[in-house]
Chains A and B, each alone.
Chain A
Amino acid sequence: MGFPSCVPRVERPADAGGAAVLVLAAPASRDDLARALVEPHDTLVEAGADAEAGPESGGTAEAVAAALKVAQAWSKVPWAKVPWGRGGFLLSLTTSTAYGVRLAETLSEALVARGVLAADQRSGVELCLHEAVANAIIHGNLNIASAAKDLPDGYTAFSALVSERLADPARALRRLLVQVTWDMEHLEISVTDQGAGFDPDSIPQRRASGRSGRGLMFMRALAARVDIHLGGRCTTLTFRRDGGNQPEREGTL
């Protein structure tokens, strides 16, 4: 049985400091991603086209080069570098792919397979990561407010809005960046979007009856620490690898 055409290939761009960049042709399926995530790499980039080039350009040499450029630009941001002495990798996907590949589940499975995450801690990490990814996709890159659901018959309007925005290349091809790093004690996962950001102080601390804010509540309950930076565009989740994930110190949330 031959490999599908989207089998990841490794590139070592000259200005990436010898880092192995695994390139995944777009649009990547869940299986493509799952397979690539257990390969050794520093950066995994879906070679989805950028918004200007349109979705059909994914997989071409130009698209790969463009995706690498995005990853390199990001890796020059200090927090996007895997710090010395830590394991980790950077994953860059288009919004439309991130929407369809059950990203948190696929990534958590890969972390268990790589021995980074204990199987009995997976579900807590997966739920927090899922909420961070869902926020980054819906509120970040697709720029849809939770309030959209509060109108009469709001969930129908909401799901129509999601479909509409996913069909708009300017939004669907925005990047979702996930950086995973770990040391002996902690696993840290940052999810960054290219949306407009938000004011973390506007999220209520405790809210059981409303329709929004529950995702952050899950993160606060299940991660050792939650930090929101980059004006609300980046959520960093910190977990203790020994599983003691009661909040250990105050994060920004």
Chain B
Amino acid sequence: MEFHSRTQGEAVEVRLTGRLEFTDHDRLRDIVALLDGPGLRRFVVDVSGLDFIDSAGLGMILILQEEAEQKNIKLVVKGPKADVKRSIDLAKIGEIVVVEP
């Protein structure tokens, strides 16, 4: 998995590409660190460029959600497509995290 982030005012958008899976836990720390931006209110995880996500990858999104919640930051998962959308729907991630098309 690769990621790129950009900050716009009170929002950070992180765009993930490639495959988010159990071998990516070491990358998560860098993404969690982005939640420390000053005055951050909204954190958008753009998954439209992801080709694949596994159960561990979904677990990482839930970790981000917990970390964001603790900092009073609203987390939004944006743009899941195809196989990624199927995994998110099957695991009912939308009941825990805000998922936008």
Contact = CB atoms under 8 A, between A and B. Distances in A.
A148 B10 CA distance: 33
B62 to A, nearest CB: 7
B29 A156 contact: yes
Contacts of A127: 52, 54, 83, 87
Contacts of A214: 55, 58-59, 91
B60 A221 contact: no
Interface in B31-60: 52, 54-56, 58-60
Interface residues on A, range: 20 to 34
A215 B56 CA distance: 8
Contact of A221 (B25, B26, B28, B90): B90
Contacts of A102: 19
B21 A218 contact: no
A208 B95 contact: yes
B83 A123 contact: yes
Contact of B55 (A126, A137, A218): A218
A123 B19 CA distance: 13
Interface residues on B, range: 20 to 34
B69 to A, nearest CB: 13
A211 B22 contact: no
A252 interface: no
Given A127-B54, A215-B55, A155 B87 contact: no
Interface string A159-184: 10011000000000000000000000
A41 to B, nearest CB: 27
Contact of A131 (B26, B55, B59, B62): B55
Interface in B11-28: 19, 21-23, 25-26, 28
Contact of B87 (A158, A163, A218): A218
B62 A211 contact: yes
Interface in A81-138: 99-100, 102, 105, 123, 126-127, 130-131, 134, 137-138
B28 A130 contact: no
Interface string B57-101: 011101100000000000000000011001100111101100000
B63 A155 contact: yes
Given A162-B25, A217-B90, A217-B91, A134 B83 contact: no
A209 interface: yes
A126 to B, nearest CB: 8
B25 A209 contact: no
B96 A130 contact: no
A215 B54 contact: yes
A149 interface: yes
Nearest to B91: A214
B22 A155 contact: no
Interface of A: 99-100, 102, 105, 123, 126-127, 130-131, 134, 137-138, 149, 155-156, 158-159, 162-163, 208-209, 211-212, 214-215, 217-218, 221-222
28 contacts: A123-B82, A123-B86, A127-B52, A127-B87, A131-B55, A134-B22, A134-B55, A137-B22, A138-B22, A149-B63, A155-B25, A155-B63, A159-B28, A163-B26, A208-B91, A208-B92, A208-B95, A209-B95, A211-B59, A211-B62, A212-B59, A214-B55, A214-B59, A214-B91, A215-B56, A217-B55, A218-B91, A222-B90
